[in-house]
Amino acid sequence: MIKLTTNLEEAKFVTHAGNFHADDVFSTVFLEKLYGNITLIRLKEYQDDKSKLAYDIGLGEFDHHGPYFDKKRANGIHYCSFGLLWQEFGLEYLKKISNENSKEIFEIMDELLVTQIDAFDNGEYTVDVPFNIYTLASLIEQFRPKIGTNEDENKCFLKAVNFASTIFDQILADAIIKAKVIKELTQQKEKIKDKILILDEYIPYEYAIFKLGLDIDFVIYPSNRGGYAAHTIPTKYKGFTPKIPFEKEWAGLRDEELQKVSGVKTAKFCHTKLFLATAKTKEDAIELAKKSIRG
């Protein structure tokens, strides 16, 4: 639980008042998860004297606003307060809640969540598209008091923290799964034949394939709609362009029409964007992939 106080003596944690950002909000979320209960004060000015855990304010260990601060990752993204706290306490927290894959989960969380918050807070990343995208950083800002209202700033801050806590939990759950899949695919490399990975059941494989650098063009797995799916691998993680697409003359075809054009007996469907095709049998799903590889 987070208790906001106006009594500096009572507070054990300090962050800045005024407009809140994803950095101080997610830092607060993480500290609550790490310590359970925190008593927090939000101040306009504070000089860190190490008597309290201060973050995003005070020019101490967990503030990134100092004139000589230059701590950054290998990819060039500087740390902000959330990143500094995660580096210091993230592994400790993960070991407390999980008995396996803590190091891998720590690194995945930093990649999927923490780096994004750091990059936006430090002005080192922008989204350049012809329409509006609500990033995590901009979603947090939506909780700020609206102009012309009498909303209490601290209450708005706590609403943002509650929202961010849910996001943190979901991304952590995703990171835990990703770490398990990486371990599983490491043990299943022998199932890769002719650049085709054959799975006995569906698992969220894409991140693991790119993380492990596996040389794969297609993945075959049982479809939740029945039969088997053959799925292309994109040229980059979360990309949309397949390394090898299915045959263009298959686009949008189904059942008998697809079977006739492809020559695959139980073929059921091929997506118009040529990244997914299905068949009634595993063997025919593999054949759809092989035909596309052969071109």
- pLDDT tens for 240-259 read 899 999 999 999 999 999 99
**Residue range 208-221: average pLDDT?**
96
Average pLDDT, the chain: 95
Q: How far apart are CA 247 and CA 266, in angstroms?
A: 16
| pLDDT at residue 64 in the model | 97
- Residue 161's SS3 state is helix
Tell me the percentage of the chain whose pLDDT exceeds 70.
100
Pair 167, 283 in one domain:
no
Pair 17, 122 in one domain:
yes
| pLDDT at residue 190 in the model | 78
Is residue 21 scored above 90 in pLDDT? yes
| pLDDT at residue 58 in the model | 96
Residue finishing a domain among 182, 200, 221: 182
Q: Which residues pair with 42 in a beta bridge?
A: 15
Pair 32, 174 in one domain:
yes
Q: How far apart are CA 219 and CA 175, in angstroms?
A: 21
| pLDDT at residue 98 in the model | 78
Domain that holds residue 204: 191-294
Pair 40, 140 in one domain:
yes
Number of domains within the chain: 2
Residue finishing a domain among 132, 163, 182: 182
Continuous segment of H or E residues that includes residue 137: helix 136-141
Tell me the percentage of the chain whose pLDDT exceeds 90.
93
In this structure, the chain runs to a length of 295
Q: How far apart are the first and last CA of the chain?
A: 59
| pLDDT at residue 126 in the model | 84
**Can you give the pTM of this predicted structure?**
0.91
Query: What confidence tier does 199 reach under pLDDT thresholds 50, 70, 90?
Result: very high
Pair 251, 195 in one domain:
yes
Could you tell me whether strands 38-43 and 2-4 are parallel, antiparallel, or unpaired per DSSP bridges? parallel
Pair 172, 197 in one domain:
no
Q: How far apart are CA 157 and CA 67, in angstroms?
A: 27
Pair 31, 92 in one domain:
yes
- Residue 16's SS3 state is strand
Pair 165, 285 in one domain:
no
Each residue of 93-139: pLDDT tens digit? 999 997 789 999 999 999 999 999 999 999 998 888 899 999 999 99
Pair 258, 156 in one domain:
no
| pLDDT at residue 125 in the model | 87
Identify which of 156, 159, 162 has the alpha carbon closest to the alpha carbon of residue 144.
Answer: 156
Each residue of 36-88: pLDDT tens digit? 999 999 999 999 999 999 999 999 999 999 999 999 999 999 999 999 999 99
Residue finishing a domain among 159, 182, 205: 182
Pair 141, 224 in one domain:
no
* Three-point CA angle 6, 7, 8, nearest 5°: 110
Pair 126, 28 in one domain:
yes
Pair 136, 111 in one domain:
yes
Q: How far apart are CA 264 and CA 278, in angstroms?
A: 11
